[in-house]
Amino acid sequence: MRTAPSRAARHAARFLAREREAERMRAVFPRALNEECGVFGIIGGADDAATKVALGLHALQHRGQEACGITTYDGERFFSDKKLGLVSGAFTEAATLDALKGNAGIGHTRYSTAGGSDLRNVQPLYADLDRGGLAVAHNGNLTNARTLRADLIRKGSIFHTTSDSELFVQLAALSRGLSMVDKVTDSLSAVEGAYALCVLTQDALLGVRDPQGIRPLVLGKLGNAAVLASESCAFDLIGAEFVRDVRPGEMVICRPDGSVESRQIFADRKARPCIFELIYFARPNSFVDGESVYELRKRLGRQLAEEAPASADLVSPIPDSGVPAAIGFAQRSGLAYEMALIRSHYSGRTFIEPSQQIREAGVARKHSANIGVVRGKRVVLIDDSLVRGTTSRKITTMLREAGAREVHFRIACPPIVYPDFYGIDTPSQDELMASSHSVDEMCGMIGADSLGFLSLDGLYTALGKGPRRSEEPAFTDHCFTGDYPTALADQERKDTRAKIEQLSLLRESS
């Protein structure tokens, strides 16, 4: 006699069906570009800017692994080279770097969603304007890009890429500013969303951060050269000295003689850096807005152990991103810290790969169970986030097959309920597991014995901000709260079209 499936089994079946449908829809309707990237720039010093840019991009490789590019200037001409793939494959040969002449250069490493991986979208983007050459490297995402693009096309602009980053070039070209600095400044007044820019002109390297400081940008010094990067870890590789964070809404103008001028383009805006940089993207040895990422993540783990303890034999991270939080969890809980999973470092990050099919296959090649550690044990797994649940489900199965007696998941951030529009490739809201399921339901879907998340107030407390103040939050935390810090013109336009289409269908059916 067949028994009725349990509630957890029914939820799991519906979840798998939705995953299959979501993948089918992604194949039919690929999403537009939505990129999280790394930028780097240097000006002044010896005529080997390309080498230093390549090293800086190598340190930022974790921020994007699909493509990379470098543009340099030697006082007379701009030189550019862009390739698909990793920095180590694109910019290691001396002949390649020697061809990129000059003591000033910018670079970019990127990833994109499905449909945006072609070479024309690889940055830096370059154009000749009436005041000279302009090269732009952009990290972030503009929330009014489609609206602006459609308006510019109607007015006669010709776009050469499908990247929102080209808007900075197009808007600068239309500006009547007397200098390149003025033209870039004018372009900023029209855009909404998140951006950290490295801009190379014939006489300066410009660094710009969006008004809320959503995307990170730091300023450094190497001898007489000024250096810009998405993260301070890029300075370590070239021996540069960290100077400070570029302030939200600030433009720094770096000259070949090493001088740096500051202009506050946007004033009186509340700084709200992206909380996901601290939780996921930044390297542990980076400093973001003056804080050690490694120490912050350990504090997340300690707070998680207080809020969601587990009766178990050992604590293990899901490497590598869960390591600092797992150390903190083990310290606070008193449980042994072990490596239940061994990671291959030649597989890339499954979260940022554009295809669900690739993500599914990537789990098996990325992690393998440490059988000698987990056999017969109750294991607490610590991860930095839970998005679709695909990886968590497969890891749970892997550990059970390796002999683990119990598998408990603990997540060092709150449930991700809302999508991101500022440059992190979170899925649509329908694909986010936490958007439509309770913690118990999610636990059943991933097959764990228990599941616990860090609370929002606990997250803020661990980051040294105290409980979250809704009237003045310290971070851009919309993925947890739905509180978006800027206007979402493109999304509102999309929602309006969807409502019109629904009304049309209702009228036709009646």
Token look-up 């494959």 returns 89
37 is catalytic: yes
Q: What DSSP element (H or E) covers 390?
A: helix 390-401
CA angle 244, 248, 254 (to 5 degrees): 55
Q: Taking the CB of residue 363, how many other CB atoms lie within 10 A of it?
A: 18
| DSSP for 213-250, written as a single string | --S--EEEEETTEEEEESSTHHHHHHTPEEEEEPPTTE
| Residue 384 CA neighbour count, 13 Å, CB half | 22
Contact status, residue 220 vs residue 53, Cβ threshold 8 Å: no
Q: Taking the CB of residue 361, how many other CB atoms lie within 10 A of it?
A: 14
Bridge pairing between strands 450-453 and 406-411: parallel
Options 37, 233, 274, 479, the catalytic residue: 37
CA angle 489, 492, 495 (to 5 degrees): 150
Cα–Cα distance measured from residue 14 to residue 416, given in angstroms and rounded to the nearest whole number? 19
Q: What DSSP element (H or E) covers 298?
A: helix 293-307
First to last CA, the chain: 45
Q: Hey, what are 269's tokens? A: 């805006």
| DSSP for 107-176, written as a single string | EEEE---TT--SGGGPSPEEEEETTEEEEEEEEEEETTHHHHHHHHHHTT---S-S-TTHHHHHHHHH--
Q: Which residues pair with 81 in a beta bridge?
A: 70
Token look-up 């007696």 returns 405
Q: Hey, what are 216's tokens? A: 């990170």
Nearest one of 425, 437, 424 to 393, comparing CA atoms: 437
List, by residue number, the catalytic residues.
37
